[in-house]
A = this chain, B = another copy of it.
Amino acid sequence: MDIKEIHSPADIKGLSLNDLEDVARQFREALLFKLSHHGGHVGPNLGMVEATIAMHYVFNSPVDKIVYDVSHQSYVHKMLTGRVDGFIDPEKFDTISGYTNPNESSHDFFTIGHTSTSITLASGLARARDLRGDKENIIAVIGDGSLSGGQAFEGLDSAAVLGSNFIIVVNDNQMSIAENHGGIYENLQLLRDTDGQAPCNLFKAFGIDYMYVKEGNNIEALINAFKQVKDIDHPIVVHINTQKGKGYGPAEIDREKWHWEMPFDRLTGNPLQIDESEDYSSITGDYLIKAMGRDPLVVAITAGTPTVMGFDAERRRHAGRQFIDMGIAEQDAVSTASGLAKGGARPFFGVYSSFIQRAYDQLSQDVAINGNPAVFGIFAPGITGMNDVTHLGWFDIPLISNIPGIIYLTPTCKEEYLAMLDWAMNQHETPVAIRMPGGRVVSAPDRTFPDDYSSPRAEIVRQGSKVAIIGVGDFFPMALKAADILAESGINATVINPRYVSGLDKEVLENLKKDHTLVVTLESGILDGGYGQKIDGFYADYDSVKVLNYGVPKQFLDRYNVSEVLTELRLKPQLIADDIKNQFK
């Protein structure tokens, strides 16, 4: 049958094995069609075509409930549940998200984008089913590196004693995003090598029944396996051995690169657009490689996403044991950094803004209370960061800057970033986090920067009067532009680079009281709990200075247009200048 005619899983239930395999071929073609034009998760979805078909052939979604970990591998599930248009009709590509989403379909149970949560979320559904007295199958699908996150183990541990139906499909494609790291991957290898028969079995050690499917891209084998576990009365792991990137040559070979890709030429695998511009990832990688050469105690840490901090395969090889990939395990990464710093090493942990959220307690307890001088690079923060609701970079300023004892720096350009990074990596007094500026790299070779950032010294870049504009990080250039526009109207604004959002330069703020009546803050993140509210607090008991805060109101947005949002929030130089002029009318 033509996949265009698939509107629900019921449409494939009567098909022969040959027909199912033909459907798989069409799905793979649809995946490559959309992914080559649109970009997205390539390898994970190509590897799960057969398993997804087999699950929907055997189980009765949405009565039976399938929960996908990270849900970046749910594209075939989407095609099987009425959303095939989102893959084969370019005009509808953007009608579906890259993750499961209950607003899209009753076959999706959670909006998910962070790793290692599926077992827990699904076990909640199973427990609710048991309380209701119902009998449907509950299935969690996890793998592709996300088994290393602590919550996945917590989930295995607690699910083991459920005492009722629960099926955990472990998608073992022998990969994380980069290489796999950690002891459990040795056990998965042992289980693959012994056809699932090795007595030392991670899942059984967690108290869970176990079944192995050697041919994880064979629909018939998978259907047989799922039929065996359907309606089972206890938790079981179905360990399926899949091939990441299956069916597309380049993705089968370079599995790390093809985890996620921008639009590409299907024939060559080459990206359609090559962005040769510098980014903070490569700037960071370059700095750290040089620092490692000078000092054997410098060490770079990633939690499964090495390229965000510039550690491609070449730099990883070069760094040797001065580079550590913890696997996707941010808690472990943060506390390891604390331990390394305590032991005299100079650790730098590079992490997406959205993922540092997973280690708030470790930042607070293991790092800040202990005062160990680890350095944290926060990547893709702010409004220009990632725009999926599960990957927003809006929360890191409230998260980090309100923990006592961590300095959170906000460089405005490449040179300032390097000055701050160099200071942070060479001091031994305090934990430091550095927020990468968003958007394109701004270079300001003519500005000079201090070599000490241990106290909140703001930089008065332009001294004016009446109004002061404080531009945080990558919004600093916007402050300058707004001031330029104001100058045309005869308003000579002071422009301030705060450098530091975890505390206030009280001297500078106090001085503003003399000849300023308006202070404006611009930050690329949420207003609640953010930097602007610290400024509000400073002037709260003083009635001659008003403050205007620009940033994101407390909300979640999904797949937003950056420019539209900035306009709506009046985060454009002209709009800011207009607002300021209105204040002086």
A148 with B154: in contact, given A131-B299, A132-B343, A200-B204 (CB under 8 Å)? Answer: yes
Within the assembled complex, what's the spacing in Å between the Cα atoms of A332 and B127? 13
Interface string of A164-187 (1 = CB under 8 A from B): 000000000000000001111011
User: Which of the segments A48-56, A266-274, A508-516, A529-537 contacts the partner chain?
Assistant: A529-537
Question: A125 an interface residue at 8 Å Cβ cutoff?
Answer: yes
Please tell me if the beta carbons of B546 and A343 are within 8 angstroms of each other in the complex: no
Within the assembled complex, what's the spacing in Å between the Cα atoms of A340 and B399? 27
Chain B residue nearest to A347 (CB atoms) is B124
Closest chain B CB from A555 CB (angstroms): 5
A182 with B158: in contact, given A337-B124, A362-B117, A402-B529 (CB under 8 Å)? Answer: yes
Within the assembled complex, what's the spacing in Å between the Cα atoms of A335 and B117? 7
Contacts of A102 in B (CB 8 A): 370
Closest chain B CB from A320 CB (angstroms): 11
Question: A139 an interface residue at 8 Å Cβ cutoff?
Answer: no
Question: A207 an interface residue at 8 Å Cβ cutoff?
Answer: yes
Please tell me if the beta carbons of B540 and A529 are within 8 angstroms of each other in the complex: no
Interface string of A360-399 (1 = CB under 8 A from B): 1110111011100000000000000000011000010011
Closest chain B CB from A344 CB (angstroms): 5
Most chain B CB within 10 A, of A113, A124, A181, is at A124
Question: A432 an interface residue at 8 Å Cβ cutoff?
Answer: no
Closest chain B CB from A453 CB (angstroms): 18
Question: A122 an interface residue at 8 Å Cβ cutoff?
Answer: yes
Within the assembled complex, what's the spacing in Å between the Cα atoms of A377 and B92? 43
A369 with B389: in contact, given A533-B534, A537-B532, A540-B539 (CB under 8 Å)? Answer: yes
Chain B residue nearest to A122 (CB atoms) is B339
Closest chain B CB from A525 CB (angstroms): 11
User: Which of the segments A308-316, A323-331, A569-577 contacts the partner chain?
Assistant: A323-331
Find A184's partner among B130, B157, B389, B533 (CB 8 Å cutoff): B157
Copy number in the complex reads 2
Please tell me if the beta carbons of A528 and B534 are within 8 angstroms of each other in the complex: yes
Most chain B CB within 10 A, of A121, A503, A548, is at A121
Q: How large is the interface on A (under 10, 10 to 19, 20 to 34, 35 or more residues)?
A: 35 or more
Interface string of A90-121 (1 = CB under 8 A from B): 00000000000010000001111110110011
A335 with B151: in contact, given A128-B345, A529-B398 (CB under 8 Å)? Answer: yes
Closest chain B CB from A412 CB (angstroms): 23
A369 with B548: in contact, given A181-B161, A362-B117 (CB under 8 Å)? Answer: no
Please tell me if the beta carbons of B157 and A182 are within 8 angstroms of each other in the complex: yes
Contacts of A321 in B (CB 8 A): 130-131
A128 with B340: in contact, given A154-B329, A537-B532 (CB under 8 Å)? Answer: yes
Find A528's partner among B122, B402, B555 (CB 8 Å cutoff): B402
6 further contact pairs, Cβ within 8 A, besides A150-B331, A157-B327, A540-B540: A110-B338, A110-B370, A127-B336, A369-B389, A395-B402, A533-B537
Interface residues of A (CB under 8 A from B): 102, 109-114, 116-117, 120-132, 148-161, 181-184, 186-187, 199-202, 204-208, 296-297, 299, 321-322, 324, 326-327, 329, 331-332, 335-345, 347, 357-358, 360-362, 364-366, 368-370, 389-390, 395, 398-399, 401-405, 503, 526-530, 532-537, 539-549, 554-556
30 contacts between A and B (CB under 8 A): A102-B370, A110-B366, A111-B370, A120-B339, A120-B366, A121-B342, A123-B336, A124-B336, A124-B338, A124-B342, A124-B343, A125-B339, A125-B343, A127-B324, A127-B343, A129-B343, A130-B321, A150-B152, A150-B154, A151-B332, A155-B332, A158-B336, A160-B186, A187-B207, A200-B205, A364-B395, A533-B533, A536-B537, A541-B548, A543-B543
